[in-house]
Amino acid sequence: MRKEIIINSSQAETRIALLEDEILAEIFVERPENERNVGDIYKGKVRKVLVGMSAAFIDIGWKQDAFLHFNDAGSLYEPDDTQRKGHTLKNGKSNINLYNGQELFVQITKEPIGGKGPRVTSEIALPGRFVVLAPNSTTVGVSRKITDSKEKRRLRNIAKKLKPDGCGLIVRTVATDKDDETLTQDIELLHSLWNRVLRKSETVSAPSLIYKEVSLASSVIRDLFTPDIDRLVVDSRNLYKDILKYIENVSPQLADRVELYKDRIPLFDLYHIEEEIEKGIRRKVWLEGGGYIIIEHTEAMVTIDVNSGRFVGNQNHEENSLKVNLRAARELCRQLRLRDIGGIVVVDFIDMWEEVNRKKIHDEMKKEMKKDRAKADITPIGPFGIMILTRQRIKPSLLFTFKESCPVCNGTGMVASKETVITELERWITRFKNRSGELRLQLTVHPELYHFLTDNGPMNIINRIMLQYRLFIRMKQDSKIAPNGFTAYSYRRNMDVTDLYKS
């Protein structure tokens, strides 16, 4: 399988796409005003212990308290002879002691979504390129993806020898064939980082942020740019330099796989990623042969309905249903991964009467989900054609990344977010400038988008766009224009040119 990482950086966002055999498999999005929080470490304070829920709410300084399940509370907070004034409870491993007002370190493991705060753990982990440092642990582990028993044993012995006192280590897959010196450098950097975190924690009071995880682009390069990636393409010169500098330090053998994209055609247009993203937020997804699936988000779960649609098979209903269901199983596994759908997912397959055929669907689902980095549990198809699965949720679904509640309909419909509109506008301007060569343009947008583009002083978004593309843009506002739309007027041609450069 050929794997490529494609990175598009614009004023409003950085988008990272993982392609597998030229098909979009995963998409990551980071925006300046909405940075990812997974991996951040806080000095928090227990707000409330809920014994019945086997959890506690932790104040980390956010509007919403973080959620700490007892199973995510590490051994660092076991009760001792002087600390027994709280709730002593089982976390599946040992007894833990939590009480209101208690201060503790927690690390975000899941982003907040909807009305729920982030999920946290007190079992801190600091990932490096080759190892993960686990402070206040003594465990040494090796990635399960390393299947060579001899190499696994070698890496485990090295980790035991290099492990800092009072810390555990997990050796990552990319450490395969790496020598002692390489692993030592990674471990020393992480241990030094942890000591800095500890020193900072002594100077601040709870709740406070004491460690900020690296940017999305940096974490994706660290975690995903492994030897099985054939190519990494980025369209930002600054980001290209940063990535190359990092790779030359930690994995110089991969440096020749990093490329700077310089063509005029927008990078995501070239690889048809824009089309795949657009498909990734639609309700209906067509299957090969005419069938389709419908994906619906609800508060409690995601439901997926499989339909035969325009599929034309033979006269054997069971055989036709099996073909459509197999295609649907493969596509919905891809969509779960692409859309980053987590939690409970209920799939309504087309009815099949034979148990052997239902097992084929279950086996196909398990095979396809092995491609997914997120953990998932899949139940067999029940007698009513229903399959229930759970998938690990780490960040909000793709739908909620690119869409926001419509202010006109109070959330009953969805429109593109301002950041997405700006990104689309910037791509439109790229096409306009490259194809027309014109130097002046008038843009008319909704008042909300107008203020979003022009506020924040001389270095606002529209001024940065003008500077980048060497294009003078006169801004106008009109409340009749849709919040996610715009119109463009060419001074040279004295005409509306909006539709001429949409693709």
Residue 464 CA to residue 38 CA, distance in Å, equals 29
Residue 309 is predicted with a pLDDT of 80
CA 184 to chain centre: 30
Residue 114 is predicted with a pLDDT of 67
What confidence tier does 29 reach under pLDDT thresholds 50, 70, 90? confident
Residue 81 is predicted with a pLDDT of 40
User: Average pLDDT of 50-74?
Assistant: 89
Residue whose C-alpha is closest to residue 352's, from 378, 315, 331, 382: 382
User: Average pLDDT of 59-81?
Assistant: 76
Q: SS3 of 142, please?
A: strand
Bigger pLDDT: 393 or 195?
195
pTM greater than 0.85 (yes/no): no
Residue 78 is predicted with a pLDDT of 40
What confidence tier does 342 reach under pLDDT thresholds 50, 70, 90? confident
User: Average pLDDT of 145-164?
Assistant: 91
What is 486-501 written as a DSSP string?
Answer: EEEEETTTTEE-GGGG
What is 38-50 written as a DSSP string?
Answer: TT-EEEEEEEEEE
Residue 293 is predicted with a pLDDT of 93
Q: Both tokens of residue 246?
A: 């990092």
Residue 440 CA to residue 492 CA, distance in Å, equals 8
The alpha carbon torsion through 317, 335, 22, 247 (nearest 10 deg) reads: -150
Residue 83 is predicted with a pLDDT of 46
Residue 481 φ then ψ, to 5°:
-80, 145
Residue 337 burial (10 A CB sphere; 0-12, 13-18, 19+) = buried
Residues 6+ apart with CB under 8 A from 346: 301, 302, 303, 304, 386, 387, 388
**Is residue 38 predicted with pLDDT exceeding 90?**
no
Contact predicate 124/41, CB 8 Å? yes
pLDDT digits (tens, 9 = 90+) for 449-493: 999 999 888 889 999 999 999 999 999 999 988 888 899 999 999
- Residues of the chain with pLDDT > 70: what percent? 90
Residue 135 CA to residue 282 CA, distance in Å, equals 43
What confidence tier does 84 reach under pLDDT thresholds 50, 70, 90? very low
Residue 441 burial (10 A CB sphere; 0-12, 13-18, 19+) = buried
Locus of tokens 């060569």: 437
| Alpha-carbon distances, residue 403 vs 17, 398, 399, 415, 487 (angstroms) | 18, 8, 6, 6, 21
pLDDT digits (tens, 9 = 90+) for 49-58: 988 888 899 9
Residue 463 is predicted with a pLDDT of 92
Residue 18 CA to residue 178 CA, distance in Å, equals 25
pLDDT digits (tens, 9 = 90+) for 194-213: 999 999 999 999 999 999 98
pLDDT digits (tens, 9 = 90+) for 230-259: 999 999 998 999 899 888 888 888 999 999
Residue 290 is predicted with a pLDDT of 84
Residue 305 CA to residue 346 CA, distance in Å, equals 8
Residue 77 is predicted with a pLDDT of 44
- Helix 418-436 vs helix 447-454: crossing angle, to nearest 10: 80
Q: Both tokens of residue 72?
A: 């995510």
Cα angle vertex 133, ends 370, 225, to 5°? 45
Residue 206 burial (10 A CB sphere; 0-12, 13-18, 19+) = buried
**Is residue 336 predicted with pLDDT exceeding 50?**
yes
Residue whose C-alpha is closest to residue 300's, from 119, 58, 116, 69: 116
Residue 404 CA to residue 401 CA, distance in Å, equals 8
Residue whose C-alpha is closest to residue 172's, from 120, 215, 222: 222
What confidence tier does 193 reach under pLDDT thresholds 50, 70, 90? very high
Residue 31 is predicted with a pLDDT of 79
Contact predicate 95/79, CB 8 Å? yes
Residues 6+ apart with CB under 8 A from 101: 45, 46
**Is residue 90 predicted with pLDDT exceeding 60?**
no
What confidence tier does 68 reach under pLDDT thresholds 50, 70, 90? very high
Residue 42 CA to residue 58 CA, distance in Å, equals 10
Residue 89 is predicted with a pLDDT of 55
Of 28-37, 108-117, 144-153, 347-356, where does mean pLDDT reach its minimum? 28-37
Locus of tokens 């990551």: 28
Residue 31 φ then ψ, to 5°:
-120, 145
User: Average pLDDT of 309-330?
Assistant: 84
Rounded to the nearest integer, the mean pLDDT of the chain is: 87
Bigger pLDDT: 468 or 398?
468
Q: Both tokens of residue 279?
A: 């498909």
